[in-house]
Amino acid sequence: MDFIKKLKSGLKKISPFKKAVVAVSAGADSVVLAFALKKLGYDIVIAHLNHQLRGEESDGDDEFVKNMAKDWGIKCEVKKVRIEKTGNLENNARTARYDFLEEARIKYKADFIAVAHHLDDQIETILMHMARGAGLRGQRGMEYQSGKIIRPFLGIKRQEILDYAAEQGLKYRTDSSNGDLSYDRNFWRHLVIPYLKNQMPGLGSRIQKISEQANKKLVSISKKADVWISKKMDCGQFARADFNKLSDDIKSEILIRILGANDLYAKDLNALSDFIKTSQSGRRMTVKNLTFFIEHGNVLIGGETHKNDLPKAKITTKGIRWGDWKIKSPDRTNLYVRQWKQGDRFVPSGMSGHKKLQDFFTDKKIPRHMRNQIPIIVNGKGDIIAVGNLRRAEFGKNSKFEIQNLIS
């Protein structure tokens, strides 16, 4: 099968489209992708992000792409950025690149962003994921279409791309950093994978089979996870007994649905599954930007907040904002609002005996993680007048104040 036929085969695995922003680095793969899509009649816009990480070489890539677009008579979007060097440089550059490409896609009203990942990239990706203990998503590797990202070359070997570039007389540039073994992917590409291919003939075919099998299994598990979520999750909570009955694969898929797949690893999913299975009521665990709470046999999910340290404040006639509440009182009152604390007691209206506030919360089934957000109204002596809008105290039932939950 010749190159263009292979490309057309890959395009059949992608939703039909007319216009695409093509990410062009100036390297062979992306130059060939732009050329081939143009040759097939697609309306393309070339987009190049200058990371400014290689000085004059980066600027040279920038100029090369601009001139190529001009020679081909197509639109070109080029931008220079400064990449944050703290943390993972590769991830920072990748994030900046895809943000830029999405901006270009929206600007030019394109259907997709086309990137030049090929079969060799797929093999590298899957092997790297497997080495890190990845689950089914890692074993599946990249997809021909993922949201607005398309990869028409995913079934084509890099040598075939280079052969086509030579055949068409296409010029391109070589990134000097491709030989820098301090980057994980370069280490795998130049050392690990050549060794594996030498030791295991047919490695590429094996990896493709692993990817196909993982994808089939993932499709089945995804459907089951969707059904479970629609039936068992309600208002950000679910019964952990129901969750614990599931297979590990379905548990992981549900948690991925909740947390999002980006920057989520198997160790995180395993730790969270164990937490849900074994933790006592009142415990919490935060993964990424979400906190999971165990309460009365349920798992509650909420955003990680830093509102636990709300200060004691005097309630004014104009009203004050305290957390998610607005509270105000008439003139000449001496009322305050504060958080609850261990040992708090009050006499609920209509009763004669004291009740621990902790027991009151338990009776009302108020989750532990929400208790600090309920305003406790006290007088100048510190006596509890009311517990939010849940209950007044007996001797404070005639106290005048207004309380409103701003998010209810």
pLDDT confidence tier of residue 408, bands split at 50, 70 and 90: low
Q: How far apart are CA 198 and CA 204, in angstroms?
A: 12
Q: What is the pTM of this model?
A: 0.66
Judge whether 382 and 341 are in contact, CB under 8 Å. no
Helix, strand, or coil here: 408?
A: coil
144-196: pLDDT as tens digits? 999 899 999 999 999 999 999 999 999 999 887 777 787 778 888 888 888 88
Is residue 48 within 8 A of residue 29, CB to CB? The reply is no
First to last CA, the chain: 63
Task: Report the residue count for the chain.
Answer: 408
Q: Report the range of poorest mean pLDDT among 31-40, 132-141, 210-219, 306-315.
A: 306-315
Tell me if 44 sits within 8 A of 34, measured CB to CB.
Answer: yes
pLDDT (tens digit per residue) in 117-133 = 999 999 999 988 888 77
What integer is the mean pLDDT of 68-84? 90
Whether 335 shows a pLDDT value over 70: the answer reads yes
Look over the chain and give the mean of its residue pLDDT values, rounded to a whole number.
87
Instruction: Check pLDDT > 50 for residue 304.
Output: no
Q: 332: pLDDT confidence band, cut at 50, 70 and 90?
A: low
Instruction: Write down all domains in the chain, each with its CATH number in brackets.
Output: 3-206 (3.40.50.620), 234-303 (3.30.465.60), 313-405 (no CATH)
Give 77's contacts (C-beta < 8 A, 6+ positions apart): 21, 45, 46, 47, 48, 104, 107, 108
Least confident range from 87-96, 209-218, 336-345, 351-360: namely 87-96
